[in-house]
Chain A
């Protein structure tokens, strides 16, 4: 198993491009997907959930880290002081 993981790690550049190709495929698949009755406006837009995933992830990362650095971050022995 270590050999398989090592083999894949050695080809990280190829994996990266395969990943980008996969991203394109998911959007293309969304064009073909059979849509159910929309629960809200996002269900009607092609590729909406791609943007939601990317922006949601970036927003969550920046907002949470921002609040952490501005307010929540303390030393490990904060309560022992």
Chain B
């Protein structure tokens, strides 16, 4: 890769900044703060000046493509860099350089995956993301976070290995050409392609391989969760949209996960876990859109990914601000914060109405595109499932979350407004949630989508449908608000299998395997050791009496023979010649007589 290509790749700057972060902080903390926003700002500038292809390196016969830019790439690059800027502002008050290093390496991984044009490069950046983001969980330094971080790392390592298996199989089946990261047709898909798809689906948190997300994100640092909610799942959406549009399994699983996520969000108690389950639900819309695979559905997927990253980050920032200021994130421990944290309330409500798809917000013009895509593709079941998920979204995040944190019962928890940088970051995200929702903002977003847009969200019927659904969901909440009061318990999910499975494995190791080991140890000490000693004595005897006797005897014979030979050697040349002549004479006589 030429130095020019290296410098134009936005991931380069994030990696460089990540490595220099501790040094910059040591020189002056202000340098670190500036870097946190200057590098994302630079990357926003860079992505507008990228050529269609750059940074191709030939390595051991493989073409590694670090830069491939088309419309699908650009819309994701655009929102990733914008999100990095918002995240940079939000985490500015954090002095610990390691957290920023992890966050920037994580962003670099996401940008690398989005820009790459081959599976080998993709895999390297994919693993960088998993590795770096684990530290965003560990840096919270609580036991639960450490444990959750290990589970997160193990699950993602497994997913990475499945992906690698698919890539290697594809290389064996197709050859070097098969490593190009391009669209795969459903009809010709092989086991290799499905393994790659499963690897991608794990990062997109598609059930039943989704449980790592609501397990890990609520345990991350306040600022780390803001980064994490934006990049891992949406990078997975990008790669699925790139490689697997039109795969029926994705359409069905996407609609299922949209409902699965909101179902858990309705019953959860921890604010950040509610939001984590909502990522599952919202990414479900995108996965379903990819599965439907029409131009409208794929446009909707990209638009929704853009809108979702911003409002989900806003929501994580809002409840993160509450966690930062009060030390609490469980709804049953919160309530009545409207007096002390009104700004966080307003920003969170903006995020809440955007995720619910209120008119004049980003969710209205993006989510509806996927649902309309399902309708146009004559998929009424998917349409109803996705619409029902939007009911649950408004119920749990639009109303339940802000109600029980800022209103509800007065918990007596004393909060105070978040730091200025956190409020600024929330303000930027809130601005985009509203800006994208109408007029020039919508037109700007639609102009970035991969296909030409022939969709008008502001029709009277769509407005009527949305207002009815949301308003009557509000009525439903009003009627059963007591029923929905959060409870201080956790809910089981499919991580039960590996969490309990790991405990079962530990039990197996501690009890039967350990007992067998102990028994073998005793057996060896009582039978094995004496037997070994007896055998050793036998071999010693054999060595002494058998081998040594033979070898020593041979040596003695050689020495004696040598002595005798030495005695018959007189040193007189005449005797030697005479002996030789006699010997020749004897041989000749023998030959003559015998022949």
Interface residues of A (CB under 8 A from B): 1-2, 5-6, 9, 19, 22-23, 26-27, 29-30, 32-36, 39-40, 42-43, 47, 49-54, 56-58, 60-65, 67-68, 71-76, 78-79
Contact = CB atoms under 8 A, between A and B. Distances in A.
Contacts of A5: 338, 342, 345
A26 B388 CA distance: 18
Contacts of B471: 22-23, 26, 50, 53
Interface stretch (B127-135, B288-296, B484-492): B484-492
A56 B489 CA distance: 25
Contact of B468 (A1, A32, A49, A62): A49
A75 B460 contact: no
B473 A57 contact: yes
A65 B266 contact: yes
B480 A64 contact: no
B342 A23 contact: no
Contacts of B467: 26, 29
A40 B489 contact: no
Contacts of A58: 476, 479-480
B499 A79 contact: yes
A81 to B, nearest CB: 10
Nearest to B466: A49
A1 B383 CA distance: 39
Contact of B391 (A23, A27, A60, A74): A60
B362 interface: no
B408 interface: no
Interface in B472-502: 472-480, 483-484, 487-493, 499-500
B391 A56 contact: yes
A74 B499 CA distance: 14
B570 interface: no
A-B pairs with lowest CB-CB distance, top 5: A57-B476, A39-B375, A53-B472, A40-B380, A33-B464
B464 A26 contact: yes
B468 A56 contact: no
Contact of B383 (A39, A47, A68, A78): A39
16 contacts: A1-B343, A5-B338, A26-B467, A29-B463, A32-B460, A34-B459, A40-B380, A50-B468, A50-B471, A53-B473, A54-B473, A56-B388, A60-B392, A61-B476, A72-B267, A74-B492
Contact of B472 (A51, A72, A73, A76): A51
Interface residues of B, number: 56
Contacts of A33: 460-461, 463-464
Nearest to B143: A80
Given A6-B339, A51-B472, A72-B492, 5 more contacts: A36-B459, A53-B472, A60-B262, A61-B484, A67-B263
Contact of A60 (B378, B395, B459, B460): B395
B384, B469, B478, B480 interface centre (most CB from chain A within 10 Å): B469
A27 B468 CA distance: 7
B391 A53 contact: yes
A50 B472 contact: yes
Nearest to A35: B461
Contacts of B474: 19
Contact of B476 (A42, A49, A54, A75): A54
B345, B376, B395 interface centre (most CB from chain A within 10 Å): B395
B387 interface: yes
Contacts of B378: 39
Contacts of A72: 267, 491-493
Given A39-B375, A40-B383, A52 B469 contact: yes
A73 B491 contact: yes
Interface in B387-425: 387-388, 391-392, 395, 407
Contacts of A51: 472
Contacts of B473: 53-54, 56-57
Contacts of B392: 56-57, 60
Nearest to A73: B489
A73 B487 contact: yes
A49 B466 CA distance: 8
B247 to A, nearest CB: 22
A34 B490 CA distance: 46
A34 B492 contact: no
B187 interface: no
B475 A23 contact: yes
B489 A2 contact: no
Nearest to A78: B490
A53 B470 contact: yes
B6 interface: no
B460 A47 contact: no
A30 B338 contact: no
Nearest to B491: A72
A44 to B, nearest CB: 11
A61 B463 contact: no
B472 A2 contact: no
A63 B388 CA distance: 13
B346 interface: yes
A70 to B, nearest CB: 11
Given A2-B338, A61-B395, A34 B461 contact: yes
Contacts of A2: 338-339, 342
B465 interface: yes
B267 A1 contact: no
A75 B491 CA distance: 8
Contacts of A54: 472-473, 475-476
Contacts of A36: 459, 461
Contact of A47 (B346, B388, B468, B476): B468
A6, A36, A47 interface centre (most CB from chain B within 10 Å): A36
B346 A74 contact: no
A61 B265 CA distance: 10
